[in-house]
Amino acid sequence: MAELAFSANDLAQVRFAVSPMWEVAPSFRLLTSTSVHPVHRPWVEQVRPRMVAAGLDRGWLAELIGSSGYVPDFLNPAPGQPAPAPAAEWDAILASPADRVRQDLDHLARHQGHLGPRLSSLRADPSSRLARLTQEIERYWELALAPYWARIRAVLNADIFHRARAVAEHGAGHLFNDLHTSVSWDDNTLTLVRRKHTMPRHSAGAGLLLIPSAFTGPGLRTRVRPPDPPQLAYPARGVGMLWESRSATGTCALAPVLGRSRTLLLTELATPASTTELAHRTGLSPAGVSQYLTALRNAGLVSAHRTGRSVLYARTAAAEALLEAASV
């Protein structure tokens, strides 16, 4: 059990953030796991073949992120904004002090028993090797998470909205007691059960950063590295419905506005796909699909994500909102 004491100043610095990097490690673990995840199975079945084809299952991340246990703290820099762009978090990793990287890798070696060849080179020369690592993280992001980020982000934002409203109606104590079964609030202290290490406030930084996660699983993950505020990543509400098929009842209303073919493509992009895949699914010609996707992309309804030699297209948050509004 660990306890984190709060002063009035600490309580005033409690905030939420959506962090792309907090999704990287747990999602990578799911993709490399041999067990079937009851919620994320559709995502795993789509992404795993692409990840293996790209060789990401045997690169830097494979050495850094084991099947369980410790993940180096420098991979999860404290978000400076409520929703930092992925590139901002890559930059924060690149700026990690060399001594901190080495300290984290030494801690990882104690957990794993050794460091692989890539991590040994990273420990020897963090300043040059971090660039190689962040390049792979960016490749992984574009392949595994970016095409789905609009959908994931909607779930995370909804969680934050729900909890912010709970604070407004019931206070911070209710927020903490409702956050997770292993978290409780009493007498100006946050208690976390089943946490091995203590969290004394003098060595934890001020405030608290709460980070909803789609992939963190049923448990909690923490990062305590002063002077940053302690970070607490918890499973977001609504993750169980993340990959459920969306209703297409509103497409008839959209077709006169967008055109039948563009509306059909938006409907099919409930699952990110390439031009060839979309042509096969819809019966449209590849040239026609490419033309319609360009128009949808220019309108901000579709995003493109390069994965090796192919490009995956995905619906944006604006497209999700449009389809939902049309179905009301």
pLDDT digits (tens, 9 = 90+) for 228-240: 889 999 999 999 8
With 80 as the cut, is the pLDDT of residue 195 above it? no
| Calpha distance 322→174 (Å, rounded) | 34
pLDDT digits (tens, 9 = 90+) for 236-278: 999 988 888 765 555 677 888 888 889 888 888 888 888 988 9
What does the block give as tokens for 314?
């995905």
What does the block give as tokens for 248?
């297409």
Residues of the chain with CATH 1.10.10.10: 251-326
What would the mean pLDDT of 45-61 be, rounded to a whole number? 92
CATH 3.40.1190.20 fits 251-326, yes or no: no
Distance from the Cα of residue 120 to its chain's centroid? 27
What pLDDT, on the 0 to 100 scale, is given for residue 246? 60
| Calpha distance 106→236 (Å, rounded) | 31
For residue 293, give the nearest of 282, 304, 280, 277 by alpha carbon: 304
For residue 191, give the nearest of 7, 11, 3 by alpha carbon: 3
With 60 as the cut, is the pLDDT of residue 290 above it? yes
At 160, the pLDDT band (50, 70, 90 cuts) reads very high
Instruction: Point out the least confidently predicted range of 236-240, 242-246, 282-286, 294-298.
Output: 242-246
What pLDDT, on the 0 to 100 scale, is given for residue 2? 82
Other C-beta atoms within 10 Å of 74: how many? 23
